Amino acid sequence: MTKPLALIFYENLLTGNQLLNRLSDLDYRTLAVSDLGKLPAQAAAETPIVLIVELGALAERVCGIIRSLRAAPATEHIPIIAYVQPKGRKEDAKLTEQAQTAGAKLVVGEALVLPHLAQLLDQALRLD
């Protein structure tokens, strides 16, 4: 049986590498996407079970990509977990709302993504 694939876009190398390692520990295959513009095509081609994206400096573009993934028949079903780089309470709340409106299934703070990754994956993969 093939391990499930998690597609990841991150800006912060430390958190991104920790996510890759943690997902591997949870028995996922991982593919890090370094070019945000190629994310929709890679998601369509690779058919991951989940997509994890960072809302950092490129948060506006990431939200646009989430919207495009939701609009495309080949990727509309992929659950998306977004995590917010801390910027301040108001800014974080705004980014959370933007990502949820764009179509992210879950949005959490960066401090929560690693310690709660297994639970986040379970929740994201739960059928509604």
Cα torsion 60, 124, 77, 100: sign: negative
How confident is the model at residue 96, as a pLDDT? 87
DSSP 108-119: EEHHHHTTTHHH
Helix axes 13-25, 117-125, angle to 10 degrees: 70
pLDDT at 67 > cutoff 70 = yes
* CATH H-level, domain 5-125: superfamily: Response regulator (3.40.50.2300)
User: What pTM was estimated for this model as a whole?
Assistant: 0.92
How confident is the model at residue 29, as a pLDDT? 95
How confident is the model at residue 56, as a pLDDT? 86
Mean pLDDT of the residues in the chain: 91
Range name among 3-7, 68-72, 124-128 with the lowest pLDDT average: 124-128
Question: Which amino acid is located at 107 in the chain?
Answer: V
